[in-house]
Structure 1
């Protein structure tokens, strides 16, 4: 098998990332050398590849589904929204500009060249490349600068599947309208539809599927049932679930309650996914002091706008709630931007440009923002357990007291700070290390006074692989895979047209 396919969506969070991951998993299990690709990703969830490139976390997850290492070519353009209605542009894994939406137009030629070169490179090295669009292909106000939906499909002659989320309602209007708003040249590459998140009796849906196919001249190539618990490595905050639930009943007498502060510009909230796989751990997102008060552990996560989100914390009284927790010896963990907020002072001449700002004063550290971004894949030890992680930040932390969180084999500090029941680290992904996570949760439970027993054998990587297998099964069982494979190898059928009813 050899070829490529683009998965577009009627809306953001329609199921593009899930479908691409499922297709990659299904093809990889069949022995196909497959790679994911997203030309342009707007997301605050990112990771660092082995060679130090920053890409979207969803593409790293899709690479895992394909059984390959993630690389910059899989996500050549990453946009990271920040304060002042601007975004950082990351090109081939490195930041190159901070631009407004209007300024971004001027970068298009340079970015599109990189997109097409990256796609060509992947297609030369892999049998199949499964591409993911962004948002909707019918953002008609942006079509002239589109480099990730129909602009990419036209340039690379890619057949396109459109996925719609029926759980939101209006899926038939979404599918029909998506096709109707495109130009005839774009319509010629739309080859079929996929309905996502269906609940109920498929017989009740059949008349609608037949009608949408008749109206559009495109087949519905699958109906994916609604499945819970597939939130691992989600792309953006639209996919946040208020409560991650409990992976399994607690092994001890108590559950462990974790509250994650839902910052306005929350980033890399995938850090808490590893907590959610532990039996008896309940993870919820919180934005009020009351929601922090009864939590056994509060996590202040990363953010793309540290100083602005610190002001938001204060406006909502969350600073007082965190201070009360620290005074009472109740556990709090800050990660990256959250860690920086917990310190004594932030000197920011680059991100917010507000200069020196008082931190929350819960950890003895000071932060200075550097112009250059740190992208790294550090490794160390915590309590004798090996820990590997990744770093994405502009803030440089100086520790003035407390104890380090991570050290080298000889005990030399590498990162982080602990003072009482408050922990902080710049390292993302540390909780994915099973031994460290177990030791950390055991200490949190002890400090919180919970009769909570940590599972001795929970594996985060095994949980991730099980969920990727579930996505592969979803695609294998509910798509017309023979038709999908024909599109991959043969491209869009010739002569596809769309004639609106009554015309």
Structure 2
């Protein structure tokens, strides 16, 4: 077979990424060579491919669902919002510009060409390409320069399915309204609906699904139940509600629970670094924005950020600096990752990201940071606690270590550790060794589970998404759309207006 499909959504966080990943896993299990694609992604949660390209983590997750290696063509345009209302444009895995919204708008025709080239390339190498939209296809103020939703669909002649989140309410109105706002040309490509995050009695929903089909001429291709505990790589801060207050399903192996507080920076990036900690039995992970929320933590984590200097200023305004310094003085564990690591040093020299010049760091590690214009993208491999560790790096700030003990290309002084490596905690042996040391320093009788595998847990979650599509979607209809494109529909006409008949056509 060969073909493509675009998964759009009535809103952000409707479930486009999850449905796209589910379709990819379902097809991969059928022996189909399938690839994900998102023309334009706005996210601070990114990943480095094997050949050193930066793409959205959601597309890397979808590639894993498809059982293929992620690559730059799967997410040709990535926007990374900064602290000044501007965004960094990453094109085919490399940062090329910093732009405002209006500046970026002028670049879109060229970016659409590049996106279509990447989509054509993927379609030449894979049997199926499952595309994901961005935001909503009914953002009519942006339609004339759209490159991710109906602009892409019309240019590439893709059938479109639209996902709606029934859990937030108003799903029928959102679906009907989405179609009503589209042009006739765009409407012709919309082939059906997915109702997502459903919980309740399906018998009560059935009449609404039939009325939606009658009103729009498009069937509901699946009612997907709410799934808990997926913890998949999120795109933006809207998804943080699914990673807040995470605790393991199983209880602790030892006598104690280990408490981890993660500072929730305004420009938080790569927050999925903490997922592996959160799935450990007996580890409770919470986001923190106030000093008192750090008080009972056995480990405080300063995660990555797109705006190190601005978020350091925010940290100080929130009164977190004295707490962190008191923890260090008392030998209580602190871990900094990437931007969080940069904050822990003595001095930050930044004429690139914030253009703030010389900024005093927290002074907890003997390091200096110099921001360079070229972004560092790497897939390092090393060792810590006698365990092999693989990670990835995405940063402009280059850290010079002037003392302390080595720690994953970073350093450690007492209970304070810092590294530029994302993804290190996904290495099971390293994670368990770190937790054992944190528990010892915190005086906790906590013992990491000896058999926890983060890779296996992620695979199980992706299989659950494949099951979601296989068990709750009209897979025969999906096959037909992928192979044959959108079927011919009656023009969409709002209620009360005369509808076309066979003789009218």
TM bucket (normalised to shorter chain) is: over 0.9
Report the equivalent of 2:223.
223
For residues 292-350 of structure 1, the C-alpha deviation after alignment (integer angstroms, 9 at most, x for no partner) is 11111111100001000000001110112211211111111000000001111111000
Q: Does 1:443 align with 2:437?
A: yes
The counterpart of 2:454, out of the listed 456, 460, 485, is: 460
Q: Please tell me whether the aligned partners of residues 247 and 282 of structure 2 are also in contact (alpha carbons under 8 angstroms).
A: no
Report the equivalent of 2:395.
393
Q: Please tell me whether the aligned partners of residues 143 and 151 of structure 2 are also in contact (alpha carbons under 8 angstroms).
A: yes
Q: Please tell me whether the aligned partners of residues 293 and 325 of structure 1 are also in contact (alpha carbons under 8 angstroms).
A: no
In structure 2, distance between residues paired with 1:286 and 1:64: 31
In structure 2, distance between residues paired with 1:483 and 1:465: 26
The counterpart of 1:321, out of the listed 318, 323, 328, is: 323
Report the equivalent of 1:412.
none
Shift of 1:248: 1.5
Report the equivalent of 2:502.
none
Structure 1 stretches lacking a partner, 5+ long: 407-414
For residues 185-235 of structure 1, the C-alpha deviation after alignment (integer angstroms, 9 at most, x for no partner) is 100101000001011111111111111111111101111111111122111
Residue 122 of structure 1 aligns to a residue whose secondary structure is helix
Deviates further, 332-341 or 320-329? 320-329
The counterpart of 2:468, out of the listed 466, 469, 474, is: 474
Alignment of 1:180-259 (within 5 A): 180-241=180-241, 242-259=244-261
For residues 233-252 of structure 1, the C-alpha deviation after alignment (integer angstroms, 9 at most, x for no partner) is 11111101321222321111
In structure 1, distance between residues paired with 2:429 and 2:247: 22
Runs of 4+ in 1 over 4 A off after TM superposition: none
Report the equivalent of 1:382.
384
Cα RMSD, aligned residues only: 0.8
Alignment of 1:18-97 (within 5 A): 18-97=18-97
Q: Does 1:427 align with 2:444?
A: no
Q: How many residues align?
A: 495
For residues 153-202 of structure 1, the C-alpha deviation after alignment (integer angstroms, 9 at most, x for no partner) is 00000000000001111111111110001111100101000001011111
Deviates further, 37-46 or 274-283? 274-283
In structure 2, distance between residues paired with 1:362 and 1:288: 20
Report the equivalent of 1:499.
493
Alignment of 1:396-411 (within 5 A): 396-406=398-408
For residues 424-446 of structure 1, the C-alpha deviation after alignment (integer angstroms, 9 at most, x for no partner) is 00001011111111100110111
Shift of 1:63: 0.3
Deviates further, 483-492 or 247-256? 247-256
In structure 1, distance between residues paired with 2:366 and 2:232: 33
Residue 450 of structure 2 aligns to a residue whose secondary structure is coil
In structure 1, distance between residues paired with 2:485 and 2:391: 40
In structure 2, distance between residues paired with 1:244 and 1:212: 37
Q: Please tell me whether the aligned partners of residues 290 and 318 of structure 2 are also in contact (alpha carbons under 8 angstroms).
A: yes
Residue 404 of structure 1 aligns to a residue whose secondary structure is strand
Scaled by the length of structure 1, the TM-score of the pair is 0.97
Q: Does 1:141 align with 2:141?
A: yes
Scaled by the length of structure 2, the TM-score of the pair is 0.97
Q: Please tell me whether the aligned partners of residues 412 and 418 of structure 2 are also in contact (alpha carbons under 8 angstroms).
A: yes
Shift of 1:496: 4.1
Q: Please tell me whether the aligned partners of residues 391 and 428 of structure 1 are also in contact (alpha carbons under 8 angstroms).
A: yes
In structure 2, distance between residues paired with 1:493 and 1:46: 36
Report the equivalent of 1:163.
163
In structure 1, distance between residues paired with 2:426 and 2:248: 17
Q: Please tell me whether the aligned partners of residues 247 and 276 of structure 1 are also in contact (alpha carbons under 8 angstroms).
A: no
Residue 68 of structure 2 aligns to a residue whose secondary structure is coil
Structure 2 stretches lacking a partner, 5+ long: 498-505
Q: Please tell me whether the aligned partners of residues 340 and 397 of structure 1 are also in contact (alpha carbons under 8 angstroms).
A: yes
Alignment of 1:478-493 (within 5 A): 478-493=472-487
Q: Please tell me whether the aligned partners of residues 247 and 281 of structure 1 are also in contact (alpha carbons under 8 angstroms).
A: no
In structure 1, distance between residues paired with 2:65 and 2:276: 18
Q: Please tell me whether the aligned partners of residues 4 and 488 of structure 1 are also in contact (alpha carbons under 8 angstroms).
A: yes
Deviates further, 234-243 or 11-20? 234-243
The counterpart of 2:312, out of the listed 310, 318, 330, is: 310
Shift of 1:495: 3.6
Q: Please tell me whether the aligned partners of residues 221 and 477 of structure 2 are also in contact (alpha carbons under 8 angstroms).
A: yes
Q: Please tell me whether the aligned partners of residues 187 and 496 of structure 1 are also in contact (alpha carbons under 8 angstroms).
A: no
Q: Please tell me whether the aligned partners of residues 217 and 489 of structure 2 are also in contact (alpha carbons under 8 angstroms).
A: no
Shift of 1:146: 0.4
In structure 2, distance between residues paired with 1:156 and 1:124: 13
Q: Does 1:14 align with 2:19?
A: no
Q: Please tell me whether the aligned partners of residues 21 and 66 of structure 1 are also in contact (alpha carbons under 8 angstroms).
A: yes
Q: Please tell me whether the aligned partners of residues 34 and 127 of structure 2 are also in contact (alpha carbons under 8 angstroms).
A: yes
Residue 247 of structure 2 aligns to a residue whose secondary structure is coil
In structure 2, distance between residues paired with 1:474 and 1:278: 25
For residues 43-68 of structure 1, the C-alpha deviation after alignment (integer angstroms, 9 at most, x for no partner) is 00001000000000000000000001
In structure 2, distance between residues paired with 1:78 and 1:366: 29
Q: Please tell me whether the aligned partners of residues 37 and 129 of structure 2 are also in contact (alpha carbons under 8 angstroms).
A: yes
In structure 2, distance between residues paired with 1:229 and 1:322: 31
